[in-house]
């Protein structure tokens, strides 16, 4: 299993470039730039990194066809891919919180998110191939011109699907070049892999180097309390705490209901930066932190490496470690302790 890194979206491009060089020197496979609605543009922020690195893959995570038409996603990732000489990736998903910011309908069924993401992937794949394509006529999106990006000179950009729920996972296995899951904890992984394999079995042609990654929050620090503070602060964004919720893997029904009923307490812990989750017993909060992320001090690193090895044994090709505060220190720990364990 290879190690990938995801940084906070507020890191300026020049600092991101420095981190990319360090990550490449550690042997990290890929660096993802987070695409948030109020921060650095994911594509632009990676240009400097592309110019100062040679091997590390560079990706934008994640972008939605509801925020940018697939034709423009294609143009953006092809441009970055040519600058990086064939080392770029883009992960396409439904949009999540961005849809609410844009005032759009957020019901996946009404939006037909699976169809939208599939069509976006197909449009971007066709354009990024560098080959001649007839017009694309989808149910939701069109590329209403014959198109041939003759300026594509390098390996085509890799087009990921962001997928965690069953239908999206099956679609990703069937259509995408690779896929990126989010916060899939070990008790959830076998079912996810079954859906991925079902999709892969329906591909028109066998996949070439199909990557299966999983976003994983990493809070390990020298100071244990600082680690758990950060983990509590960010807990509201772990996938199991977001609709349609998957807390039944970790909590009894009454505790699960209590957590969902007090979701705003988790949100408040983030936006106040307090890390204090009201109305939920600390024991339950700590349990969720331990199940849904890696937290603790340096003495816990070996334990967390064992967890990551279980991810590998279950079929992941990549673990995408999300760093938060103090990315330089976090990257150092990953490079010196985690990467060697998977060499």
pLDDT digits (tens, 9 = 90+) for 225-284: 999 999 999 999 999 999 889 999 999 999 999 999 999 999 999 999 999 999 999 999
Band (104; pLDDT cuts 50, 70, 90): confident
Residues 158 and 28 in one domain: yes
Residues 231 and 156 in one domain: no
From 250, 272, 292, give the residue that closes a domain.
292
Residues 248 and 110 in one domain: no
Domain that holds residue 276: 225-292
CATH number of the domain bearing residue 203: 3.20.20.30
Residues 246 and 193 in one domain: no
From 250, 265, 292, give the residue that closes a domain.
292
The span from the CA of 82 to the CA of 80, in Å, is 5
Residues 120 and 28 in one domain: yes
Residues 114 and 160 in one domain: yes
Query: Running DSSP on this structure, what letter comes out for residue 321?
Result: E
Residues 15 and 52 in one domain: yes
pLDDT at residue 201, as a whole number: 97
Residue 8 pLDDT > 80, yes or no? yes
pLDDT at residue 38, as a whole number: 84
Residues 132 and 267 in one domain: no
Residues 281 and 304 in one domain: no
Task: Report the number of distinct structural domains present in the chain.
Answer: 2
| Averaged pLDDT score across all residues of the chain | 96
Tell me the mean pLDDT in the region 98-121: 85
Tell me the mean pLDDT in the region 118-135: 98
pLDDT at residue 246, as a whole number: 94
Residues 12 and 65 in one domain: yes
| Helix or strand holding residue 107 (H, E) | none
Residues 173 and 101 in one domain: yes
pLDDT at residue 36, as a whole number: 87
Closest CA to 100 of 157, 38, 46, 158: 38
Band (63; pLDDT cuts 50, 70, 90): very high
Band (309; pLDDT cuts 50, 70, 90): very high
Query: Residue written as tokens 């983030």?
Result: 270
The span from the CA of 233 to the CA of 260, in Å, is 16
Residue 105 pLDDT > 90, yes or no? no
Q: Considering only CA atoms, give the Rg of the chain.
A: 20
Tell me the mean pLDDT in the region 39-48: 96
Residue 270 neighbours by CB under 8 Å, 6+ apart: 233, 234, 235, 236, 237
Q: Helix, strand or coil for residue 300?
A: helix
Residues 188 and 241 in one domain: no
From 251, 273, 292, give the residue that closes a domain.
292
Render 44-89 in DSSP notation, one character per residue. Answer: HHTHHHHHH-SS-EEEEEEE-TTTS-HHHHHHHHHHHHHHTTS-EE
């Amino acid at each position: 299993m290879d190690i990938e890194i995801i940084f906070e979206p507020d890191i300026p491009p020049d600092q991101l470039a420095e981190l990319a060089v360090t990550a490449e020197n550690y042997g990290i496979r890929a660096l993802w730039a987070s695409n948030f609605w109020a921060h650095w543009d994911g594509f632009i922020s990676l240009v400097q990194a592309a110019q100062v690195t040679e091997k590390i893959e560079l990706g934008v995570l994640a972008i939605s066809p509801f925020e940018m038409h697939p034709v423009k996603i294609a143009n953006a990732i092809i441009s970055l891919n040519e600058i990086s000489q064939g080392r770029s990736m883009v992960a396409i998903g439904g949009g999540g919180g961005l849809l609410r910011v844009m005032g759009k309908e957020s019901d996946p069924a009404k939006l037909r998110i699976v169809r939208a993401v599939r069509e976006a992937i197909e449009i971007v794949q066709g354009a990024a191939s560098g080959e001649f394509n007839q017009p694309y006529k989808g149910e939701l999106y069109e590329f209403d011109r014959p198109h041939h990006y003759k300026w594509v000179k390098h390996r085509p950009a890799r087009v990921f699907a962001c997928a965690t729920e069953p239908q999206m996972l099956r679609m990703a296995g069937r259509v995408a070049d690779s896929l990126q899951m989010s916060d899939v904890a070990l008790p959830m992984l076998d079912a996810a892999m079954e859906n991925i394999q079902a999709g892969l079995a329906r591909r028109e042609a066998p996949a070439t180097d199909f990557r299966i990654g999983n976003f994983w929050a990493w809070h390990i620090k020298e100071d244990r309390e600082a680690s758990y503070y950060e983990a509590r602060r960010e807990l509201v964004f772990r996938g199991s705490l977001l609709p349609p919720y998957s807390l039944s893997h970790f909590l009894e029904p009454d505790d699960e209901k209590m957590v969902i009923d007090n979701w705003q307490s988790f949100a408040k812990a983030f936006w106040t930066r307090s890390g204090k989750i009201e109305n939920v017993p600390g024991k339950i909060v700590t349990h969720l932190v331990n199940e849904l992320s890696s937290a603790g001090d340096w003495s816990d690193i070996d334990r967390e490496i064992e967890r990551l090895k279980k991810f590998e044994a279950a079929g992941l090709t990549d673990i995408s470690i999300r760093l938060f505060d103090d990315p330089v220190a976090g990257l150092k720990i990953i490079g010196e302790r985690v990467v060697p364990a998977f060499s």
